[in-house]
């Protein structure tokens, strides 16, 4: 096998961590000795061992003198786990092939420098573009310090989201619906407007197996989320935030009062917001969507498409120290 093939195998391993390792990046590693793969691993869950350590633990032979293929530069700092550079040096690995450098400025290149200073050969840039695309979300936040936002919008070819009476079922097909649930498991949060909650009473959970639910964020200026909605009734098991500008204490009571009729409603976080915050978070990643929507609808004279009943925003935010 070639170096590219070993790195592609590491990329496939890394993808298994989708939806499980956030806010860390997905990372995969393969250890090769004398032309044979002796160990494989990937970052399986946030707070758990990194890919390099899992690959070392998987070794069927001594890794001394072996080559390590890893999709992202090994970490060199103490976080939730010890530095991976320490484990690599202790194992006796003599060559490390890195897909792409860590984008975090305090860490970028330092892991490679430590390895080289210890006499380990370090090669960079093998399948670099693929490695970057794998962690597009992570790279975007680290480099811009703004959340990565994806807008999902379903409408008919003539720009409609429901019948004239407001009735609406699935506009998209099964494949698209499955992709939506994969997105829910992949991103940190899902955000909708109060119009969606009132019209559809959605759960906004991930029905894909083996991944966690995103935090549900409801933009509700006047705090109209019904206490008997599925959002409120499942707040004990699915993290939920309501962003509102309402200061009406009576409206807050069903969600925050110690005497609320259902304890689960008290698990909802009520957040006051300034309306100027929203455009700053959303604009960087939705301007292209707005342009494409306009061009696809063109000059057709249809009823306005209201985002309150059909738009969903997936959001991921990251900590600057998210490689821990």
User: With contact defined as beta carbons under 8 Å apart, do 159 and 305 qualify?
Assistant: yes
User: With contact defined as beta carbons under 8 Å apart, do 56 and 74 qualify?
Assistant: no
Contacts of 90 (CB under 8 A, 6+ apart): none
State the Cα–Cα distance between residues 304 and 301, nearest whole angstrom: 9
User: With contact defined as beta carbons under 8 Å apart, do 117 and 105 qualify?
Assistant: no
Catalytic (active-site) positions? 52
Cα separation values, 47 from 21, 232, 260, Å: 8, 29, 35
Q: In what order do the strands lie in the sheet with 67-72?
A: 36-42, 28-33, 67-72, 95-100, 121-124
Read off φ and ψ for residue 215, nearest 5 degrees: -65, 130
State the Cα–Cα distance between residues 241 and 216, nearest whole angstrom: 6
Per-residue DSSP letter, 16: G
């Amino acid at each position: 096998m070639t170096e590219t093939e070993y790195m592609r195998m590491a990329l496939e391993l890394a993808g298994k961590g989708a939806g499980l390792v956030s806010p860390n990046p997905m990372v995969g590693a393969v250890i090769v000795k004398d032309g044979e793969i002796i160990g494989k691993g990937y970052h399986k869950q946030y707070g758990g061992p990194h890919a390099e350590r899992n690959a070392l633990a998987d070794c069927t032979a001594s890794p001394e003198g072996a080559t390590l293929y890893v999709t992202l530069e090994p970490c060199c700092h103490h976080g939730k786990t010890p530095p991976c550079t320490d484990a690599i040096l202790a194992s006796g690995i003599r060559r490390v092939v890195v897909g792409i450098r860590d984008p975090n400025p305090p860490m970028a290149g330092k892991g490679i420098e430590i390895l080289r200073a210890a006499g380990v050969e370090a090669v960079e840039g093998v399948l670099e573009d693929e490695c970057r695309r794998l962690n597009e979300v992570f790279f975007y936040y680290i480099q811009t310090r703004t959340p990565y936002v994806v807008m999902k919008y379903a409408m008919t070819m003539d720009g409609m989201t429901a019948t004239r009476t407001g009735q609406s079922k699935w506009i998209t097909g099964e494949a698209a619906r499955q992709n939506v649930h994969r997105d829910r498991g992949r991103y940190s949060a899902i955000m909708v407007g109060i119009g969606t909650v009132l019209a559809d009473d959605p759960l906004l959970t991930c029905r894909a197996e083996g991944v966690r639910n995103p935090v549900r964020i409801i933009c509700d200026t006047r705090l109209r989320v019904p206490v008997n909605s599925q959002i409120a009734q499942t707040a004990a098991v699915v993290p939920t935030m309501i962003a509102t500008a309402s200061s009406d204490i009576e409206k807050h009571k069903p969600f925050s009062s110690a005497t609320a009729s259902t304890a689960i409603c008290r698990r909802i976080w009520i957040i006051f917001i300034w309306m100027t915050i929203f455009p700053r978070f959303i604009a960087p990643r939705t301007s292209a969507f707005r342009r494409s929507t306009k061009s696809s609808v063109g000059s057709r004279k249809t009823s306005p498409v209201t985002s309150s009943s059909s738009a969903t925003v997936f959001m991921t935010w990251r900590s600057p120290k998210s490689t821990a």
